Structure 1
Amino acid sequence: MQEDKKMQHFAHVTQAHPCFNEKIHDKVGRIHIPIAPKCNIQCGFCTRKITDKENRPGVASCIMSVDEAIEHIRKTTSQMPISVVGVAGPGDALDNPETLVLFKKVREEFPDLILCMSTNGLLAADYAQQIADVGVKTVTITINAVDPTIGAEIYDDIEYDGKVYHGIEGAKLLLDHQLKAVEKLSDLGVVVKVNSVVIPGVNDEHIVEIAKTVKAKGASIMNVLPLIPLNKFKDVKKPGCGELSTIRKQVEEYLPVFRACSQCRADAFGIPGVKDQDFSLEMVPNSHY
């Protein structure tokens, strides 16, 4: 019975969320609010920036205050069809207390909008009840390894509770928190999507193990993403379409796979991937608050 309710809730959310349903990905809009600059882990493929020049996760033109974000939502929802408000950086949503403050205010003023966040998952188990209480319906957790040995190759620094962890110790700490978060959030009725970045030669043969593990913890859907070569993986070749297709087919034996991700900026808004309907703040006059 509980599983039936979960599937009903998942179906309801995916009817309106462009990042959970490929059929509506190019028909309804979302707003990413750049309110979260700090991050408590350092991924080997991530370089966070305030920039107008790059079109990828981890970048934004500015960092908004909560009040600026609310005004941005008012303006945007008056001009285009928006179904989702999310926080996806440019750092980690939960390493910035403004995120939950924003969600509370959005829920009060815009009760029909789906609230969504992306996180590395380090703090998501600690905040699971608060996430559910402010009305967040979907959480995306990026999990790139369920083997700490592989995780140690991907993550350089894990900062938790005032201490910085490295290597296998850090990767194990992160993984433990991530899997607890998937389980806790799913039990609270939040739809959990897991993002996994394919890094050739590091975790490309490990993605299906991630799928098996997170499905057992309650994840509902998975997104398999190609590496954007940056930072210490800047010289690693981006995985090709054939390689991604093979991995996604393997994952689909365990979880549905979302295949239309645009790997958006942290300040993107509009309809994902649609020309003249998908924007970021640097494209909008007077957008620097």
Structure 2
Amino acid sequence: MAKTYEELEKNHPCFGGCKFNAGRIHLPVSPGCNIACRFCDRTINDVEQRPGVTSKIITPDEANTFIDKALEFVPNIKVAGIAGPGDTLATDYAFETFKKIGESHPELLKCMSTNGLLLYERADELIEIGIDTLTVTVNAVDPAIEAKLNEYVIWHGEKIYGEEGAKILIENQLKGIKKVADAGVTVKINTVLVPGINDEHIATIAKTVRELGAIIYNIIPLIPQHQLKDIPKPTCEQIEKARSDAEQYIKVFRHCAHCRADAVGVPGVSEYSKLVYQSRLNVRNTFSHG
């Protein structure tokens, strides 16, 4: 049964109302990615606090063990999320994990993040597994803009570059958002704000995804790195303008903590990932696409 937005506000730290009292665990079961964002630098390390980073990859069979351990530290964990470090739909591991969680911890909200390339074709599986909330990263709805942010997609084994790949990505994102939203899944949209590329495009994205059924929007400031390392991160004024542009059409979430793919605890209050996953790395290994 689909959760109401009011229920999510009380129990999900990415939906506003429970920011300082509800915890989550991110389960890093998805190793590979099928698109090449120009700002993305996914790594295996204990050093950085940002999306796409984890200290280890775990298996679906290990997930419940780590949830049990996390609940010892944070009894008020309400959400089991899968946010990488790769894309959750690029492999079957996220689906296998949620099946196991549904059997052992049915009380936890099931939350997934995806780039959306495979969202439309895997939507039925996602709906069947009982996902409560889905976050889709939509950085543009214009292929010319998206191509400046994403070098290529890997679409059914073929690497497709530029606007051609961007068009495939956007089409699948938008059709997928509508399909899962129509089925009752709560959809949140993330957009990475990149000055000079998509900062004047935010209102268009927000209007488009709201019309398809998304209900909340999160603007993530660019962390300059990889191919976009020379673009300055957005100023506070640019972020506020983007939020104002989006709020013409959709509710905006303003408390994103840039969580790692192995985050454990209450965002902004506690972090137990090292204790739960028993990681001892200080390296910065490169994550590869494929």
Regarding TM over 0.5, the answer is: yes
* 2:222 matches 1:230: no
Percent identical across equivalent pairs?
Answer: 46
Alignment TM-score, normalising by the size of structure 1: 0.93
1:202 maps to amino acid: I
Report how far residue 287 of structure 1 moved.
4.0
The Cα offsets for residues 47-104 of structure 1, whole Å up to 9 and x where unpaired, read as: 1111111111111000001122210001112331100000001111111211000001
Task: Check if 1:279 corresponds to 2:272.
Answer: yes
Tell me what 1:100 maps to: 95
Question: Which of 52, 55, 60 is the equivalent residue of 2:54?
Answer: 60
The question of 1:77 aligning with 2:105 is answered no
Corresponding position of 2:129: 134
| 1:1-289 correspondence runs (5 A) | 9-21=4-16, 23-80=17-74, 81-274=76-269, 277-281=270-274, 286-287=278-279
| Secondary structure in 1 matching 2:118 | coil
Distance in 1 between the 2:277 and 2:32 partners? 26
Alpha-carbon shift at residue 28 of structure 1 (Å): 0.6
Question: Structure 1, residues 99-142: CA drift from partner, whole Å, max 9, x if none?
Answer: 00000110111111000011000111111111111111000000
How many residues are aligned here? 280
Post-superposition shift, 1:278?
1.9
SS at match of 1:262: coil
Choose 70-79 or 185-194, whichever is displaced more. 70-79
**SS of 2:219's equivalent?**
strand
Q: Which amino acid aligns with 1:257?
A: V
Matched position secondary structure for 2:49: coil
Q: Deviations along 1:174-220, whole A, 9 cap, x unmatched?
A: 00000011100101110000000100011011011100110111111
CA contact (8 A) 2:46 2:279 kept: no
Letter in 2 for 1:112: E
CA distance in structure 2 between the partners assigned to 1:146 and 1:56 by the alignment? 24
Deviation at 1:280, TM superposition (A): 2.5
Deviation at 1:285, TM superposition (A): 7.6
Shift in alpha-carbon separation, 1:59–1:285, aligned structure 2, 3 A: closer
Higher normalized contact order (CA 8 Å, seq sep 6+, divided by chain length) = 2
The one-character-per-residue Cα deviations of 1:248-278 (angstroms, maximum 9, x if unpaired) are 012111000000000111000100011xx22
Query: How far 1:11 sits from its partner (Å)?
Result: 2.3
Contact map agreement 1:129 1:188 (CA 8 A) in 2: no
Q: Is the 8 A contact 1:223 1:259 kept in 2?
A: yes
> SS of the residue aligned with 1:179?
helix
Q: Matched residues in 2 for 1:37 and 1:20: separation?
A: 26
Structure 1 residue runs of 5 or longer lacking an equivalent are none
- CA 1:114–1:285 in 2, change beyond 3 Å: closer, same or farther? closer
1:188–1:51 distance in 2 versus 1, CA, 3 Å:
same
Distance 1:132 1:258 in 2: 24
Question: d(CA) in 2 for partners of 1:41 and 1:252?
Answer: 28
TM-score (norm 2): 0.93
SS of residue paired to 1:127: helix
- Separation in structure 2 between the aligned mates of residue 224 and residue 48 of structure 1, nearest angstrom: 19
* AA aligned opposite 2:273: S
Give the letter for the 2:150 counterpart: Y
